[in-house]
Structure 1
């Protein structure tokens, strides 16, 4: 059985946490597609041409240390605007999406470009201020030296870059269910996501992940 759940949204909106919880609830496999771009961004920072890095990407690259750093996140956003990079990663994502047992993919263009025929689509968002605060607290907890205003500026710049890029800009699919987590705790957000997905025909525990 192939059942695809596409979860899109901007950075720090909670889509990763929601996606992992949803995958566990339904027994589906999960792919954080942002890691693909982070892995390419990391290689670009190391001097590799982004397109070459995307073409040569292997699953092991997604296990590389340091993919969650702020610098790599910025690099990921920059390589994501390169059409050749996006094209190189397209087949990998689509094959994962249609695997037997069901799949959850989270990213920025899953419901609009990668899997427009997904059985369930969600768009998880939150205000830039809330997302910047979450990211700031995460970075500080990890030992990074930064301040809230810097993180907020980076968040707004990344939002603008993602939303205005010519190839696959960040936007909700027309039939996506919107979930704004600005004033929701994670349990409420996960419950809302599960309810939306059940309404599209998924059954808890039916996957094989």
Structure 2
């Protein structure tokens, strides 16, 4: 059966990763969480002290990019892939609100995007991949056979993210989470390099009032139709 590339873009906390992981498992495809890659670079910048209120010294981060090695390592027991930064498992560290507050700033740096887009394109050479992020259908794989653009209201997304962080044991307020989401939306949509936007041929998918099962079933049906046409 011919394999395709599935690009899932959209705003933060719309559940892109959750759906993409499940879709990849159902299709026996490779899943790539590009957001984890940008978060890992952000974590690196934080650890190296490149941040104040913003990326105070982008030139230092750019200079260190060749020293940043990223890879996904599959956990055979859980069936998931963890993000490794320079051979260290940072999967938990990159999911904090501290990283979330800064990641859009790092993602707006041209040299960072160029490095990560190249890595992402290499991952998709053989197709059979589900990749989620902000610019997968517009920049990374503009010729992807199936493109989904996920959205939901900021309040819905903040509620979902707030619960997730509380379940992890993080001490945050709903107001902090909502403010972070609104700020990330603004930065992602207005940056000069690869801004977040829906590709002309992407299916817009508003999941504000959908449960996970309904979301998966609908998107899985989209994928099946495209794959059937590609045979």
Q: TM-score, normalised by structure 1?
A: 0.91
Corresponding residue for residue 62 of structure 2: 51
Corresponding residue for residue 115 of structure 2: 88
- The 5-angstrom pairing of residues 36-185 of structure 1 reads 36-47=37-48, 49-55=60-66, 56-59=68-71, 60-61=84-85, 63-64=89-90, 65-99=92-126, 102-185=128-211
Change (3 A) 1:96 1:137: same
| Alpha-carbon distance in 2 for matches of 1:9, 1:53 | 29
Q: TM-score, normalised by structure 2?
A: 0.83
Where structure 1 has 5 or more consecutive residues not aligned to the other structure, the ranges are none
* Runs of 4+ residues deviating >3 angstroms: 52-55
| Alpha-carbon distance in 2 for matches of 1:82, 1:63 | 24
Is the 1:38–1:76 contact (alpha carbons within 8 Å) kept by the matching residues of 2?
yes
Is the 1:8–1:122 contact (alpha carbons within 8 Å) kept by the matching residues of 2?
yes
| Alpha-carbon distance in 1 for matches of 2:153, 2:25 | 27
Count of matched residue pairs = 203
TM-fit CA distance, 1:197: 1.6
Is the 1:40–1:57 contact (alpha carbons within 8 Å) kept by the matching residues of 2?
no
Secondary structure in 1 aligned to 2:186?
Answer: helix
Corresponding residue for residue 224 of structure 2: 198
| Alpha-carbon distance in 1 for matches of 2:21, 2:147 | 15
Which has the larger share of strand? 2
Which stretch of structure 1 is more off in the superposition, 70-79 or 56-65? 56-65
